[in-house]
């Protein structure tokens, strides 16, 4: 279950001008206009105009990343910067516009897969 949740962590942009940072348990929906800076020097960090920093599990800090200079994080930062440039920055939305919610669909699928595997193990052991 945890492997499924970790394997499906990602960052997704949509046509409404928001970036979804999908983690194992939570999804953070960030307006592109609220992003002040994107840094990839120690894993991917998205800094908002308010000073709040949001990190991504999909592009986290690691020893191997330190050695390789975080190439995936650098590509993701470039894509986020390019995505952000498509939207005007009228008033730089504040931190209150960042919406965080529980990843219900991903958790439901993970629990269903876990229950299926547990039931299969139970059936196999009782045959």
Per residue in 61-112, pLDDT (tens digit) is 787 777 888 888 889 999 999 998 888 765 555 555 889 999 999 999 999 9
- What is the distance between the alpha carbons of residues 54 and 44, in angstroms, rounded to a whole number? 9
pLDDT at 58: 85
* 49, HSE (Cβ side, Cα atoms, 13 Å): 16
Q: Which of 107, 98, 106 is nearest to 20 (CA)?
A: 98
Instruction: Report the C-alpha dihedral over residues 107, 3, 22, 109, rounded to 10 degrees.
Output: -30
Of the pLDDT bands very low, low, confident and very high (cuts 50, 70, 90), residue 22 is: very high
Average pLDDT for the chain: 87
Q: What percent of the chain has pLDDT over 70?
A: 94
């Amino acid at each position: 279950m945890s492997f499924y949740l970790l394997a499906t962590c990602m960052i997704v942009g949509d046509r409404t001008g928001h970036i979804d940072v999908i983690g194992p348990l939570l999804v953070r929906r960030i307006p592109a206009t609220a992003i002040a800076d994107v840094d990839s020097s120690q894993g991917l960090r998205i800094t908002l105009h308010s000073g709040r920093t949001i990190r991504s599990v999909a592009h986290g800090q690691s020893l191997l990343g330190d050695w390789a200079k975080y190439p995936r994080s650098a590509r993701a930062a470039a894509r986020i910067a390019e995505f952000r440039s498509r939207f005007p920055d009228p008033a730089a939305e504040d931190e209150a516009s960042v919406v965080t919610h529980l990843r219900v669909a991903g958790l439901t699928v993970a629990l269903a897969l876990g229950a299926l595997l547990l039931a299969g193990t139970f059936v196999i052991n009782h045959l």
